[in-house]
Amino acid sequence: MSIKEQTISEFNATAVEMNNIQVAFDNTNVLNKLNFSLPAGEILCLLGPSGCGKTTALKTIAGLITPLQGEIDLFGRSVFFNSNSATEKVTNIPPQQRGVGFIFQDYALFPHMTVSQNIAYGLPDLNKEERKQRIEESLQLVELLDMQQRYPHELSGGQQQRIAVARALAPKPQLLLMDEPFSNVDGQVKRRMMADLRRLLKDHNISCIFVTHAKEEAFAFADKTAVMVAGEIAQLDKPAVVYNQPKSCAVANFMESGNIASLRNSQKILDRIDHHWHKDFESSGYWLFKPQHLSLNKSLQNTGITLIDTTYIGRGYQYELSVQPDKYNPASTIIWKAESEQALNINIGDNLAIEYLASPHWLQE
């Protein structure tokens, strides 16, 4: 049975279901009641700043870290269950029996083994002929069939990553987990690798969870993105939704979605901005103003908004503004960013009048 045939049978199932997973190191919670599910065949990106618990979440799914409590199901099969109740039995399937493939950040290729020995390591149950065939099949997937006798140090970074993929996929895992798989490669090679791997996963309908702190990787590679903050999932949705409609300040901040202003500041700032939407300040929260929707014009009056820097960013220009909502309180000054495709006729130190050309996004806190 080829990898494709085998994985297709899991189509439409739920690949991963995590409920109330709690992990602590030295009495400090790293994962705090983590909940999410991933439909089979989808690629999920766990995105978040360093130390938010994303790698811990990945290793917990693999079984390399044991949670204090919670429930993990893989393709409908319970691999971990602990409710911390004396009456309910604890389930903890060891990593070897969970049927997951794992690609480590440093690839973890065994340095003293050739490429084919590395792949064969995970196929102890096959006979010699079957093993040889499976190795070739896996190497064909990553287009490195002629590298069988090479040692890891004889391969480039990109080739090592592909061998790690081949090794992880050779035992036909139901789920592929990847820990920052693209962090060791840059530029063109990275883009090509992401495209190739995504095509491979999609062609064979392999479910995948990968961890990164670079949102560009989530945009390019994932079907869904879960932004993790302090051991919890702050938002899980399509990458474009997470970027354009973040649910909280933490998500908006991490995704660099735009300028955030508190209700109090917004009110004062909005007094200085021409706007076209219905203001509603009854509820609490924050406004998110997208840089690309801010229009800037030089003003002869003291608006409390000053241009402090201009940067060329390739697709246009980015302007950094000092916005002082309360002229009696200089400490209230905040920095906003605006973007324009064309260079504007404004100079550093100029007073600016701002117009917001869209409706700002409302963030609940």
Task: List the x/- string, 252-291, binding to another protein by CB under 8 A.
Answer: ----------------------------------------
Q: How far is the CB of 111 from another protein (least distance, A)?
A: 7
Nearest to 249 by CA among 290, 287, 292, 293: 287
String of contacts with another protein for each residue 164-203, x by CB under 8 A: ---x---x--------------------------------
The answer to whether 78 contacts another protein (rule: CB under 8 A) is no
Tokens of 270: 């909005």
42, 44, 48, 59: which one binds another protein (CB under 8 A): 59
49 touches 214 (CB < 8 A): no
Q: Which of 13, 19, 75, 104 binds another protein (CB under 8 A)?
A: 104
One of 64, 194, 214, 344 touching another protein (CB under 8 A): 64
Q: If we measure between CA atoms, which residue out of 312, 310, 304 comes closest to residue 351?
A: 304
Q: What is the 3-state secondary structure (H, E, C) of 107-162?
A: CCCCCCCCHHHHHHCCCCCCCHHHHHHHHHHHHHHCCCHHHCCCCHHHCCHHHHHH
Binds another protein (CB under 8 A): choice among 110, 277, 281, 362: 110
H-state helical runs in the chain: 3-8, 54-62, 115-120, 128-141, 157-169, 187-203, 215-221, 239-244, 249-255, 263-270
> Applying CB under 8 A, does 106 fall inside the site for another protein?
yes
The stretch near another protein (CB under 8 A) out of 8-16, 21-29, 204-212, 237-245 is 21-29
Where do contacts with another protein occur on this chain (CB under 8 A)?
A: 23-25, 59, 62-66, 68, 92-96, 100-102, 104-106, 108, 110-112, 121-122, 124, 167, 171
